[in-house]
């Protein structure tokens, strides 16, 4: 970084930029899934029996017949090569929230020295990356390197086109040589299978004999910031950590509410269209785009899809946002809190369960009070969230998400369920022992003859709730912007599995005792509400009153930091939950705790080291230059009889001295290595290092408000957020 000159040069380069108009988009039918090896493409090129076998596995969760893999591989290779692919990659999702892939060529050298293209069934089904170099939480030692990828036929293969060529990408799971899951996908597939079995059992008890495989669905609303690369390249903190470790809030932030849903900046809209075209080619159903609350913040949201495919698509979406942003001169920030003082970014995960025969099992219909199927499934969710709320908090715990959860920003770290007035009324009646009716859908009358009347939802929404019912699904709003959605989906599927089993056990007992179905169901639901209604809350989740009531009166956990939340994964209750549902073994669960705890500590320590470096080598020199110039000016003016107030110089000197003293304390604190446990190390990072970093920032940000603008080296908030 070349100092303050680069900052003003960046402003000049951005403001002088010619915005390239967006290319005329192709018709959706011409784009949709053209880069995906879809079922229709398989049907066109596979023998009938082979296609039937593959389709059965995808739709019904049947066992994959590996004997057909060779035929599928040959067809997949021919299709990919016709799209220009020279390489293939088994794509998997290790415990890093990122995507991993290893590229291999379709090349096989023959005995006579010639080369042919080849892709066998064995290669399609199984790959072998290093099982020790990825985070594994002690499952594999460094010298024990073998790991496997295995083809996930339920998520379609696709070709990814970049400036460097075309690659066939095959979604896979990633497991160790000893069989443990080292990835995000394997537990998600297990959790969905377990949930389907439990849901099927309950549906059978409700009288359904034709029950298709039940699947969870997901639609993840992705929030993100865009910063021009000229600014970002002058901000080492943005490049290395994804957030600004220093930065004084601009005079204008989001207080005027003028950015939310405002006109999308022209250059940003060109970027958005480019992203969407690429998403459509990959069969990712991008639906919504808009400005978000904070300046420089935006959102993209898809239609619902099956959870496993949606999770893969979400990873692809994050990759596309980052790569396409670079082509348009932006850096896409997926950190939960890139800028202090304004709205951070989340990823609201809309989640539901359903199948082809019974439909959406969380759809209340027009008369939810009489819809036993819905009430039992919704009641199971309420029980699960109350009983395992600590787990839901733990699976969204990261160093970056701590800046939102427990930090006076949506949503709070206390996990509660919002049902809306209509359903709250229904479940309150159930708790009292006699459900009679529910609020009806109203009509919105606007008082202007030319404006239409339209149906009014029977309940409002609550943006302060971390787990809210929103019509026919639940919205888990605590998931971080940069996180994989797989972990939260695994948790939701697993706690629902446990609750559905409990509901089915109770219902069977009632039915065997002679109760009719309606009476038996209401008896079970009454017990749910008597034991778990404490988690239902429809008020302001930000209020101090709620925080006090939630903890002291309702007994709900408040885990404000990752250091508080992650140890939940070591609790016996959580270990038993995952073991009895078959989603994670004790070893796999412990490995996740170890990996995530280590990542948390590493992030805090990396940021602390960067705080020290930037403060000492960038901010301190700027302050000293300003003091030198100021002192010289004061002395020169005094020489000609003009006395200036030295208060400004004294303030800068005091702030500089205090900042350097804080840095010295932080340096000393970073050398503390005597910890009895990883939990103690996390608490030290949260309670000691983080506050020390904040103290350094407080002085540095105060200096930004005092030092002459032309001497300040780091691009400021008012530039990064408002110049596009």
Interatomic CA distance for residues 540 and 544, integer angstroms? 9
Query: pLDDT tens-digit profile of 149-195?
Result: 999 999 999 999 988 889 999 999 999 988 899 999 999 999 999 99
Do the strands 286-291 and 100-105 form a parallel or antiparallel pair, or are they unpaired?
unpaired
Query: pLDDT tens-digit profile of 651-663?
Result: 999 999 999 999 9
| Residue 455: strand pairing partners | 443
Going through 347-494 in order, the beta strands assigned E by DSSP cover 347-355, 359-360, 417-418, 442-444, 454-456, 467-469, 474-476
Two structure tokens written together for 719: 């530039």
Q: Does domain 191-598 have CATH number 3.30.590.10?
A: yes
| Residue 90: strand pairing partners | 102, 170
Interatomic CA distance for residues 641 and 458, integer angstroms? 76
Two structure tokens written together for 169: 């990408």
Query: pLDDT tens-digit profile of 407-420?
Result: 656 677 899 999 99
Query: pLDDT tens-digit profile of 499-543?
Result: 999 999 999 999 999 999 999 999 999 999 999 999 999 998 888
The DSSP element (H or E) to which 347 belongs, if any, is strand 347-355
Interatomic CA distance for residues 368 and 379, integer angstroms? 12
Please report the pLDDT score of residue 640 as a whole number: 61
- For the CA atoms of 460, 462, 466, 468, the dihedral, rounded to the nearest 10 degrees, stands at 0
Whether 248 shows a pLDDT value over 80: the answer reads yes
Query: pLDDT tens-digit profile of 420-464?
Result: 988 998 899 989 888 777 666 666 666 777 667 766 676 667 778
Please report the pLDDT score of residue 2 as a whole number: 42
Interatomic CA distance for residues 314 and 347, integer angstroms? 10
Please report the pLDDT score of residue 549 as a whole number: 95
Taking residues 95-108, report their average pLDDT: 87
CATH assignment of 599-720, given 3.30.70.20, 3.20.20.70, 1.20.120.1560, 2.60.40.10?
1.20.120.1560
User: Taking CA 680 as the corner, what is the angle to CA 676 and CA 686, rounded to the nearest 5 degrees?
Assistant: 155
Taking residues 371-379, report their average pLDDT: 95
Contact 97, 143 (CB under 8 A): no
Please report the pLDDT score of residue 145 as a whole number: 73
Whether 560 shows a pLDDT value over 60: the answer reads yes
pTM of the model: 0.94
Please report the pLDDT score of residue 3 as a whole number: 47
Q: Point out the least confidently predicted range of 137-146, 272-281, 429-438.
A: 137-146
pLDDT-based confidence at residue 7 (cuts at 50, 70, 90): confident
Domain ranges, ordered by start, for the chain = 32-183, 191-598, 599-720
Whether 1 shows a pLDDT value over 60: the answer reads no
138-175: buried (b, 16+ CB within 10 Å) or exposed (e) per residue? ebbeeeeeebbbbbbbbbbbbbbbeeeebbbbbbbbbb
Interatomic CA distance for residues 462 and 4, integer angstroms? 44
Taking residues 343-358, report their average pLDDT: 95
Which letter does DSSP use for residue 84 in this model? T
599-720 matches 191-598 in CATH topology: no
Query: 3-class DSSP state for residue 659?
Result: helix
Interatomic CA distance for residues 602 and 144, integer angstroms? 24
Please report the pLDDT score of residue 542 as a whole number: 86
Two structure tokens written together for 563: 């250091």
Query: pLDDT tens-digit profile of 675-723?
Result: 999 999 999 999 999 999 999 999 999 999 999 999 999 999 999 999 8
Please report the pLDDT score of residue 459 as a whole number: 65
Which letter does DSSP use for residue 536 in this model? B
- Percent of the residues in the chain that have a pLDDT greater than 70, as a whole number: 93
Q: What is the mean pLDDT of the chain?
A: 90
Q: What are phi and psi of 364, to 5 degrees?
A: -75, -20
More confidently predicted of 236 and 110:
236
Whether 16 shows a pLDDT value over 70: the answer reads no
Whether 63 shows a pLDDT value over 90: the answer reads no
Q: Does domain 32-183 have CATH number 1.10.150.20?
A: no
- Percent of the residues in the chain that have a pLDDT greater than 90, as a whole number: 71
């Amino acid at each position: 970084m070349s100092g303050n000159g680069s900052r003003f040069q960046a402003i000049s380069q951005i403001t002088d930029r010619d915005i390239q108009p967006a290319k005329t988009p192709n018709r959706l039918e011409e784009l949709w899934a053209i880069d995906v090896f879809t079922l229709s493409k398989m049907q066109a090129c596979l023998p009938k029996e082979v296609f039937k076998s593959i389709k059965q596995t995808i739709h019904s969760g049947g066992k994959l017949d590996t004997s057909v893999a060779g035929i599928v591989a040959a067809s997949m290779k021919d299709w990919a090569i016709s799209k220009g692919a020279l390489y293939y990659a088994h794509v998997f999702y290790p415990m890093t929230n990122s995507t991993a892939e290893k590229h291999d060529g379709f090349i096989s050298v023959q005995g006579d020295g010639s080369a042919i293209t080849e892709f066998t069934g064995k290669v399609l089904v199984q790959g072998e990356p290093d099982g020790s170099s990825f985070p594994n939480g002690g499952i594999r030692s460094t010298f024990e390197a073998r790991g496997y990828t295995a083809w996930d036929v339920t998520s379609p293969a696709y070709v990814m086109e970049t400036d460097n060529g075309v690659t066939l990408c095959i979604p896979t799971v990633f497991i160790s040589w000893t069989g443990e899951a080292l990835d995000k996908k394997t537990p998600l597939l297990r959790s969905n299978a377990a949930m389907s079995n439990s849901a099927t059992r309950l549906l059978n008890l409700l009288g359904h004999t034709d029950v298709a495989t039940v699947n969870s669905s997901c639609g993840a609303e992705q929030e993100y910031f865009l910063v021009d690369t000229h600014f970002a390249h002058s901000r080492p903190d943005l490049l290395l950590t994804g957030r600004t470790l220093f930065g004084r809030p601009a005079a204008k932030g989001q207080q005027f509410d003028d950015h939310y849903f405002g006109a999308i900046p022209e250059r940003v809209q060109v970027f958005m269209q480019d992203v969407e075209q690429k998403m459509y080619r990959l069969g990712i159903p991008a639906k919504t785009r808009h400005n978000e609350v904070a300046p420089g913040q935006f959102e993209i949201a898809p239609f619902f899809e099956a959870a496993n495919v949606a999770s893969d698509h979400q990873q692809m979406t994050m990759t596309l946002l980052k790569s396409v942003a670079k082509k348009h001169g932006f850096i896409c920030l997926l950190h939960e809190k890139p800028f202090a003082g304004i709205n951070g970014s989340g990823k609201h995960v809309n989640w539901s369960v359903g199948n082809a025969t019974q439909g959406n099992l969380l759809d209340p219909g027009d008369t939810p009070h009489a819809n036993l199927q819905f009430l039992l499934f919704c009641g199971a969710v309420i029980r699960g969230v109350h009983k395992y709320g600590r787990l839901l908090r733990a699976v969204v715990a990261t160093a970056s998400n701590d800046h939102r959860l427990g930090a006076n920003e949506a949503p709070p770290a206390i996990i509660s369920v919002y049902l809306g007035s209509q359903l709250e009324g229904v479940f309150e009646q159930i708790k009292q022992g006699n459900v009679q009716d529910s609020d009806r859908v109203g009509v919105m009358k606007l008082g202007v003859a030319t404006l239409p009347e339209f149906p009014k939802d029977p309940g409002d929404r609550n943006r302060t709730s971390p787990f809210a019912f929103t019509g026919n699904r639940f919205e888990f709003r605590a998931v971080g912007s940069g996180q994989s959605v797989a972990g939260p989906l695994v948790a939701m599927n697993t706690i629902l599995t446990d609750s559905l089993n409990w509901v089915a056990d109770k219902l069977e007992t009632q039915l065997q005792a002679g109760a009719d179905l309606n009476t038996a169901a209401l008896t079970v639901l009454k017990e749910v509400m008597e034991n778990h209604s404490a988690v239902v809350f429809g008020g302001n989740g930000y209020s101090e009153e709620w925080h006090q009531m939630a903890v002291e009166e309702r007994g709900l956990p408040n885990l404000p930091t990752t250091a508080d939340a992650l140890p939940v994964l070591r609790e016996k209750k959580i270990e038993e939950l995952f073991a009895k549902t078959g989603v994670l073994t004790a070893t796999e669960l412990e490995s996740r705790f170890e990996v995530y705890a280590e990542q948390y500590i590493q992030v805090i320590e990396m940021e602390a080291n960067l705080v020290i470096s930037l403060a000492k080598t960038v901010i301190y020199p700027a302050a000293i230059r300003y003091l030198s110039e100021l002192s010289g000016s004061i002395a020169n003016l005094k020489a000609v009889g003009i006395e200036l107030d030295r208060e400004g110089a004294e303030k800068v000197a005091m702030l500089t001295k205090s900042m350097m003293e804080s840095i010295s304390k932080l340096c000393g604190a970073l050398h503390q290595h005597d910890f009895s446990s990883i939990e103690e190390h996390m608490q030290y990072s949260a309670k000691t290092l983080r506050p020390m970093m904040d103290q350094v920032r407080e002085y540095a940000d105060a200096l930004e408000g005092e030092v002459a603008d032309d001497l300040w080296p780091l691009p400021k908030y008012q530039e990064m957020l408002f110049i596009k």
